[in-house]
C-alpha cells in the first residue's frame, strides 16, 4: 500500500540479468534520458516492496521476429515465479510468419495482453502487418502500445485514431498519455473513445502539474493507468507527483489500480 492506496504499476520493462545493463543503456540512448533503475525483476520487486507497490505489469519488446518466442517465455516464467506480484504481457513482431501462432502462444502462456513499440520496431502502428494482430486480440487480449514521438511518424495520434474507429472490439492502451512528446495533441485527438485508455508513464517529468491534471481530466480518471516506465524512472517519485495533483481519492484509486484490474481482469 502507498499512502493507504493499493498500487499496480502498469508499465514495467524487465530483461534477463545477463543483458539488462545493455538493454537499459540502449533505452536511455534512444530517448537521451538518464535511466534510474537496473531493468531486472529482482531489482524492480525490491524497489516496489520498499515503495508499497502491490503488483507490476511486465513486458519486453521484440525487435526481430526470432526474439518473440523466447521473450514471451521469459516474461511468463518471471510472472509465474513472482507469486502474483508480476503480471506478464507478451510481445509480437509485425514481420512474424505466424502471427496467429504467436498470439495463441501468448494465451497458452497465461500472459494477459500484448505490448508493442512501433518506434523501436520501426513499423507504423497502423501498418497492415500489425492489423492481423489487432484482429486476433479483439475480445481476448488488451493491446498496450507505445504512442507518440515527435521525431518519427510510427506511433503518433494520426496513426492511432483510425485504429480506434476500426477495431472497436479491441481495448487499446496508449502509453505516455497517448502520445509521448506530443501529449496535448494526443489528448485532443484521442480522448472520448470507449476502447481507448492511457497510462501516465514517462510524462510527468516533462509536464507541469496543471497540464498533467488537465490531461487526466480530459481523458477521465476512469481511462488512466499509473505506470512508472521502470527502469526509466523511480516509482516513488512518480507516485509522489501523482499524489501532488488535485485529484479525489476515488480518482486516485481508479488510476492506481482499479482501471488496470478491470482491463486485465486481475
Say which CATH number the domain at 245 has.
Answer: 3.20.20.140
**Which pLDDT score, from 0 to 100, does residue 31 have?**
86
- Say which range, 15-24, 54-63, 89-98, 99-108, has the weakest mean pLDDT: 15-24
Number of domains in the chain: 1
**Which pLDDT score, from 0 to 100, does residue 51 have?**
94
pLDDT band at 26 (very low <50, low <70, confident <90, very high): confident
% of residues, the chain, pLDDT over 90 = 90
Does residue 147 lie within any of the structural domains? yes
What average pLDDT is seen over the chain? Answer: 96
> From the CB of residue 83, how many other CB atoms can be counted at a distance below 10 Å?
7
Q: Is the peptide bond before 17 cis (omega within 30 degrees of 0)?
A: no
Does residue 35 lie within any of the structural domains? yes
Q: Tens of pLDDT along 131-182?
A: 999 999 999 999 999 999 999 999 999 999 999 999 999 999 999 999 999 9
In eight-state DSSP terms, residue 155 is S
**Which pLDDT score, from 0 to 100, does residue 184 have?**
96
Does residue 89 lie within any of the structural domains? yes
- State which residues form the domain around 143: 8-264
Does residue 53 lie within any of the structural domains? yes
Q: Tens of pLDDT along 82-107?
A: 999 999 999 999 999 999 999 999 99
Does residue 78 lie within any of the structural domains? yes
Does residue 3 lie within any of the structural domains? no
Convert 22-46 to b/e letters by CB count within 10 Å (16 or more is b).
Answer: ebbeebeeebeeebbbbbbbebbbe
**Which pLDDT score, from 0 to 100, does residue 162 have?**
97
Does residue 82 lie within any of the structural domains? yes
Do residues 31 and 62 make contact, with C-beta atoms less than 8 angstroms apart?
Answer: no
HSE-CB of 98 using CA atoms within 13 angstroms: 8
Does residue 75 lie within any of the structural domains? yes
Amino acid at each position: 500500500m502507498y499512502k493507504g492506496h493499493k498500487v499496480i504499476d502498469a508499465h514495467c520493462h524487465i530483461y534477463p540479468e545477463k543483458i539488462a545493463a545493455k538493454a537499459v543503456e540502449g533505452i536511455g540512448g534512444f530517448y537521451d534520458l538518464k535511466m534510474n533503475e537496473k531493468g531486472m525483476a529482482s531489482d524492480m520487486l525490491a524497489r516496489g516492496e520498499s515503495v508499497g507497490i502491490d503488483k507490476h505489469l511486465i513486458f519486453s519488446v521484440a525487435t526481430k521476429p526470432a526474439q518473440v518466442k523466447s521473450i514471451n517465455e521469459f516474461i511468463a516464467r518471471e510472472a509465474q515465479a513472482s507469486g502474483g506480484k508480476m503480471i506478464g504481457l507478451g510481445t509480437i513482431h509485425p514481420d512474424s510468419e505466424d502471427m496467429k501462432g504467436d498470439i495463441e502462444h501468448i494465451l497458452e502462456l497465461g500472459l494477459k495482453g500484448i505490448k508493442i513499440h512501433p518506434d523501436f520496431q520501426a513499423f507504423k502502428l497502423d501498418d497492415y502487418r500489425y492489423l492481423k494482430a489487432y484482429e486476433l486480440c479483439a475480445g481476448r487480449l488488451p493491446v498496450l502500445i507505445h504512442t507518440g514521438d515527435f521525431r518519427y511518424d510510427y506511433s503518433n495520434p494520426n496513426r492511432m485514431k483510425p485504429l480506434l474507429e476500426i477495431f472497436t472490439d479491441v481495448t487499446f492502451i496508449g502509453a505516455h498519455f497517448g502520445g509521448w512528446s506530443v501529449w496535448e495533441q494526443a489528448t485532443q485527438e484521442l480522448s472520448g473513445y470507449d476502447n481507448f485508455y492511457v497510462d501516465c508513464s514517462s510524462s510527468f517529468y516533462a509536464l507541469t502539474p496543471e497540464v498533467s491534471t488537465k490531461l487526466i481530466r480530459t481523458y477521465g480518471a476512469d481511462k488512466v493507468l499509473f505506470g512508472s516506465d521502470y527502469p526509466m524512472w523511480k516509482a516513488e517519485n512518480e507516485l509522489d507527483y501523482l499524489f501532488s495533483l488535485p485529484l479525489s481519492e476515488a480518482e486516485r484509486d481508479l488510476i492506481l489500480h482499479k482501471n488496470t484490474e478491470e482491463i486485465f481482469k486481475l
